[in-house]
Amino acid sequence: MDLKNKKIVVLGLANKRSIAWGILQNLKARGATIGICYFHQSNLKRVKPLAEEIEADFYIEADVTKTEEIENLHNVIKEKWGTFDGLVHSIAFSPSEEFNKRFHECSKKGFFETLDISAFSLVSLCQVLKPLFSNNFSIISMTYYGSKKVLPGYNLMGVAKAALESITMYLAHDLGRDGIRVNAISAGPIKTLAAVGIPNFSTFLDNIKDHSPLKKNVTIQDVGNLASFLLSDNSSSITGQVHYVDAGISIVTK
């Protein structure tokens, strides 16, 4: 797959363990031109050397809960590229305290913050950036099977991922007439910075490895391979779907 003519913006890079990093490495290897957005200023010291390593055209802070910061991203893309060809939404957040309580005890503030950052932000990005979308534009987001089945402790993030998957379908239907494709990748559990806050996550990883058909955990590189395909013209007739890269664990009943 050749992505040499593709200009792609990836949101959600935090460090070398980020799923976004696996995607960025794959895109770079296939010749894509890259722009990076990170969520908070505190991430800059980790993001800067990674952005320089893959020779990103730009890397900027963008709080996706603030319209003015998405508009700033719009202006940077317009100035640098004019239009672009793909968007990767690899953003998820829920307050740490929401993982350590019973679900019915979740706070309204935590609920709306989780949904705003992890799900509605994809809609916000489309609202502001759509004028810059090229023909055959491709959007992908990152979800997880906790949207379909209960993962104890995943709590509000499971609700947010369910919302994100529904948003994927509705955006695909709405934007399809404009030649824009929208898909989601449901990756198996990966030890990212975000996952560290989930109770007993390391034990959960071992359990997945033992019971998945392929007897392994997936990597950020596995996700990067699928992302590159969905961002390429090879997937030009695929939209509105959730694509699993999880060593087959989602088909297992246990």
Active-site annotation, residues: 144, 154
Instruction: Flag whether 31 is marked binding.
Output: no
Instruction: Flag whether 36 is marked binding.
Output: no
Looking up tokens 């991203």 gives 73
Instruction: Flag whether 91 is marked binding.
Output: yes
Instruction: Flag whether 226 is marked binding.
Output: no
Instruction: Flag whether 18 is marked binding.
Output: yes
Instruction: Flag whether 194 is marked binding.
Output: yes
Instruction: Flag whether 206 is marked binding.
Output: no
Closest C-alpha among 234, 251, 247 to residue 136: 234
Coil, strand, or helix at residue 162?
helix
Instruction: Flag whether 158 is marked binding.
Output: no
Cα–Cα distances (Å) from 155 to 23, 29, 100, 106, 198, in that order, read: 26, 36, 9, 8, 9
Task: Answer for the pair 214, 250: CB distance below 8 angstroms, yes or no.
Answer: no
Task: Answer for the pair 19, 91: CB distance below 8 angstroms, yes or no.
Answer: no
Instruction: Flag whether 224 is marked binding.
Output: no
Instruction: Flag whether 12 is marked binding.
Output: yes
Instruction: Flag whether 19 is marked binding.
Output: yes
Concatenating the DSSP letter of every residue in 95-159 gives: -GGGGGS-GGG--HHHHHHHHIIIIIHHHHHHHHHGGGEEEEEEEEEEE-GGGTS--TTTTHHHH
- Strands (E) across the chain are located at 7-11, 33-38, 58-61, 84-89, 133-143, 181-187, 242-245
User: How many angstroms separate the CA atoms of 2 and 44, rounded?
Assistant: 30
Q: Which class for 151: exposed (0-12), middle (13-18), buried (19 or more C-beta within 10 A)?
A: middle
Instruction: Flag whether 161 is marked binding.
Output: yes
Task: Answer for the pair 89, 143: CB distance below 8 angstroms, yes or no.
Answer: no
Please state the residue numbers annotated as binding site for NAD(+). Answer: 12, 18-19, 63-64, 91, 161, 190-194
Residues in the annotated binding site: 12, 18-19, 63-64, 91, 161, 190-194
